[in-house]
Structure 1
Amino acid sequence: MAKTLPDQIADLFIALIFTGELKAGDKLPPERQLAELLSVDRTSLRMALRTLGRMNAVNSVQGSGIRVCNIHTDMGLDFLDNLYRIPELELGGRLLLAGLELFNRAIPTAVKLALEKRRRDGITDDGRMLEMVQAMYQSVEQGRSTQELARMEVDIIEALMEATGNQVLQASANSSRRIRTLLTEKLFELIDVKQHLTFQVSIVMKARQASEDLDELINEYLQYIEQLTEPLYEHLRSVPEEPRLVSSPLKNDRNIRSWQQVLAGPDAPLESVQLVKPIS
């Protein structure tokens, strides 16, 4: 589905903040001027700024104008969720490695929480997880694409998050679905997926045994995840660290990829763009 103009404007600002083109404390031009600089109508700009305000990307203070917030201290999961939705943006190796490291720790933790909840509540395993893994195994046998298999793997992880009953974990999983899918697609290009699923089945079967020591099981799973994703770690270390805006999320004829291009305005000659300084 094509994005609305307000969404395109918001995506542009999210990308400019993430790439460092806009920094914490930078002041935006007045609304009327900013609309002219972007070649957009004020209503669409106002809607985009409202969206950015809700995710603490910008802050409007009476008498001080609109300033960019701090990406590290002010912005949260909703900013990241929107960040992952921008196909024109290359996220960079630093963020992808940070995401992989976090997911490698979070998934075994979720397994432990889900098992503890099941045993605490006396819930009998309904076999749903095993069925999902087996369905994915059949898809491998049928030669499905890595993209399809990655989506199935992510569905399994989200079912696991749901089984924990922890709303924060579930919300985090929802917000990170796109980057997890991206990482899983690349991982499946580098590993033997069928072998991975064989291990998954063995873990699920062990987890169904009430006598199984949870800490030992989680430690086994954690070690497996670290070993499994080592090829992906190696790949991501070869990716440029810094994010890059390949093309403009704002779909007009200007292809805006920097804050300097915005400030130069629609009528500025190309050679003058590099001479324009951000507003302080």
Structure 2
Amino acid sequence: MSARSRLDTLAQARPEWAAWLRVVRELAADLSDPAWDANPPRTAPASDRAPLLAGAEMRPDTRAIARLLERLSGVARAQGLHAMAGEPRQAPGTPADALAVFMAALNDDDAALAMQASRAGASAQGWRTLAGLLPMPHLHACARRWAAGPRAAWPHGYCPVCGAWPTFAELRGVERARHLRCGRCGAGWPMPVLACTYCATTDHDTLGALVAEDKKAHFSVDVCHRCSGYLKSCTTLQATPSDELLAADLASVEFDLVALERGFLRPPGPGVALRATLSVEAASMPARRWWR
């Protein structure tokens, strides 16, 4: 089943989410589109603690970013999600404006995102949610590039590519090897079964799991009583395709709710602040109007 088909199925099961899922569906095909593989970032020297994009100089296709933001905003407005996309007459109008949204979302810059939301006539949280989708195709391209090259072991709970905390863990195959999956860029990396993703404790007395009564459920929840963190975990024969991670995360939201009801949380923000910058050539694009 394709990512879009999964989202369509989820929209039928959760009609109250249908408007938001149509926005996510607009993004889905871009996540695996090789057109985004062009213009990879200039990265800092490799580090055993810093993710690939920490301090990177980003060189995204400026007009592709502007077109994607126009598409996402257009679908959101068509679905009545004006708190998320703002009003057309107030929306940014140039590729440079779209790049500013891209960089603010990439760097998790709350102040910049709040300012953009105010200018667009959107709510701060709604705009943050929409803007968070914008860097994802470029980040997936970065993760594909990372996966294709030589890789050192990565012992941390945050993503080795973009620094985000994982969306969920996979227990793969008959041996149930544990791999963490990043919902932001699609990367995956191995992690010991008995280790907290967030505080790295391996004390089995502080680690636990919330398991569904339904024995056929593929998801459970790993919890840590030391830091009160949680992470969903699923059993699977093979890795979830990168472009289907969003759908899998949304389809298993009831496990998030169970964890929250019991007082477990996910850390706010990313695991590592990227502090990426924009390349000179991308920043110097002509500021002619691109959005209608």
Give the TM-score normalised by the residue count of structure 2.
Answer: 0.29
Higher helix share: 1
Larger RCO of the pair (alpha carbons < 8 Å, separation 6+): 1
Q: Which has the larger radius of gyration?
A: 1
TM-score (norm 1): 0.30
Q: Whose strand fraction is larger, Structure 1's or Structure 2's? A: 2
